[in-house]
């Protein structure tokens, strides 16, 4: 500014005016924030008024963040997508903890089981742990890595596709195990067992196709439009196999009644186990399929789908761990109470014991020794695949 005002060869009057302008400028700078600043500016000549840069406005750091949703539709969208994934992950993690406990109990209670059964249990355990890890990784990707990303609800991470494949693999192994039981109960009836095994293979194949296409498309919208029927086929075949296994086992157990009150009571208990395990997995799969068909734009079906593999694993382990409880019922007195394995209601079992006690009458009572001999023969034929002498003290003295 001094270069523009002071020039060589200027008169004394011009220099005096320049010094006066400098003094006025200093006063203006000192009092720029006072209410009289406008008056001081007006006193200066227009050609000597300094130009001040505009004052920078203070910026709130929170104003740079995107606005949070305020409408009810946006809040509902978050609840039915990311909220459903979070709740499904929490529930499935709790069920995975039950699987770990039951696996530990199995290897403690049945060290003499056949090697193929132990390998199957260990394989299902490892698959379940891997499924839980992928499920938690998917939740982290949705909620943390893509926080405030409105488009993440339509994206399919690769970990989601892998959870679908692992769920189908666990379901396939468990359904094969129960199909083998149906085969033994039906005395080798392939007309009943073959359709169950075939549908289980179809369910596994549909899930593998779904996993492949999810990895390619990476969008729920595109997957629903192009390959939604494949995912529906997998869920529907899983429900069909569960219903078929439950009905077949209950039918063959019902036809295996011996006429003895204690053995009929044990058969009722096995039927109760079968119905509870089959109904729990079937109902969860049906509800997940209904949500998938009626609400394909949200992720409620996925939250339920997380829990399906955990329920299948727990149903298998509960069936295996319940054998010792059944054996105690056979060796104990009539009407004795024993603890049931996980996943079975005590109220239902109490009603079953009441039906058994009411079925006993004075005319149907038999000699205890004869009744014990009959039960002993049945135990050696139909309990399980392990040696009954390994878990019963005094088995050699039974006559």
Cβ atoms within 10 Å of 370's Cβ, excluding its own: 10
Q: Which domains does the chain have, with CATH numbers?
A: 77-325 (1.20.1070)
Tell me the DSSP string of 127-194.
Answer: HHHHHHHHHHHHHHIIIIITTT-TTGGGB--HHHHHHHHHHHHHHHHHHHHHHHHHHHHTTS-HHHHH
In angstroms, what CA-CA distances link 126 with 72, 122, 308? 42, 6, 16
Determine phi and psi for 19, rounding to 5 degrees.
-65, -40
What the block records as the tokens of 44 is 């200066």
Cβ atoms within 10 Å of 119's Cβ, excluding its own: 10
Query: For position 169, what pLDDT does the model report?
Result: 97
**Nearest C-alpha neighbor of 173 from the set 57, 303, 40, 313:** 313
Query: For position 150, what pLDDT does the model report?
Result: 77
Give dist(CA 49, CA 66) in Å, integer: 42
**Nearest C-alpha neighbor of 74 from the set 138, 168, 153:** 153
H/E element, 375? helix 368-382
Give dist(CA 328, CA 40) in Å, integer: 104
Query: For position 381, what pLDDT does the model report?
Result: 45
Mean pLDDT by 10 residues, the chain (399 residues): 49 66 67 55 54 52 49 67 93 95 94 94 97 96 87 91 96 95 90 95 96 94 93 95 91 77 74 80 93 91 94 93 74 46 42 45 40 43 47 42
| Longest Cα–Cα distance in the chain | 143
Give dist(CA 395, CA 278) in Å, integer: 34
Question: Virtual CA dihedral for 312, 314, 316, 317, nearest 10 degrees?
Answer: 160
């Amino acid at each position: 500014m001094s270069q523009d005002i002071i020039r060589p060869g200027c008169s004394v009057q011009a220099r005096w005016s320049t010094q006066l302008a400098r003094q006025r400028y200093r006063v203006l700078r000192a009092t720029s924030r006072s209410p009289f600043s406008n008056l001081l500016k007006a006193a200066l000549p227009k050609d000597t008024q300094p130009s001040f840069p505009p004052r920078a406005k203070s910026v709130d750091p929170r104003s740079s963040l995107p606005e949070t949703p305020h409408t009810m539709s946006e809040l509902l969208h978050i609840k039915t997508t990311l909220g459903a994934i979070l709740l499904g992950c929490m529930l499935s993690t709790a069920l995975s903890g039950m699987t770990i406990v039951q696996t530990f109990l199995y290897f403690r209670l049945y060290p003499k089981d056949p090697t193929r059964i132990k390998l199957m249990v260990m394989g299902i355990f490892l698959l379940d742990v891997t499924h839980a890890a992928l499920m938690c990784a998917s939740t982290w990707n949705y909620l943390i890595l893509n926080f405030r990303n409105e488009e993440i609800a339509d994206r399919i991470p690769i970990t989601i596709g892998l959870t679908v494949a692992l769920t189908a693999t666990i379901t396939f192994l468990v359904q094969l195990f129960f199909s083998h039981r149906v085969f033994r109960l039906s005395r080798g009836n392939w007309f009943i067992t073959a359709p169950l095994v075939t549908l289980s293979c179809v369910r596994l194949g549909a899930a593998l196709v779904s996993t492949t296409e999810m990895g390619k498309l990476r969008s729920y919208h595109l997957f629903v439009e192009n390959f939604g029927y494949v995912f529906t086929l997998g869920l529907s075949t899983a429900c069909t196999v569960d219903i078929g296994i439950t009905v077949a086992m209950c039918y063959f157990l019902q036809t295996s009644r011996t006429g003895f009150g204690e053995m009929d009571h044990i058969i009722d208990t096995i039927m109760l186990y079968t119905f509870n395990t089959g109904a729990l997995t079937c109902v969860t799969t049906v509800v997940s399929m209904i949500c998938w068909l009626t609400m394909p734009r949200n992720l409620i079906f996925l939250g339920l789908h997380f829990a399906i593999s955990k329920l299948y694993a727990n149903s298998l382990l509960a069936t295996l761990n319940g054998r010792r409880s059944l054996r105690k019922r056979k060796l104990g007195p009539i009407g004795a109470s024993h603890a049931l394995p996980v996943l079975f209601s005590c109220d239902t079992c109490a009603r079953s014991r009441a039906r058994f006690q009411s079925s006993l009458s004075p005319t149907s009572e038999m000699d205890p020794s004869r009744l014990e001999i009959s039960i002993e023969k049945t135990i050696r034929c139909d309990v399980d695949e392990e040696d009954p002498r390994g878990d019963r003290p005094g088995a050699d003295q039974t006559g």
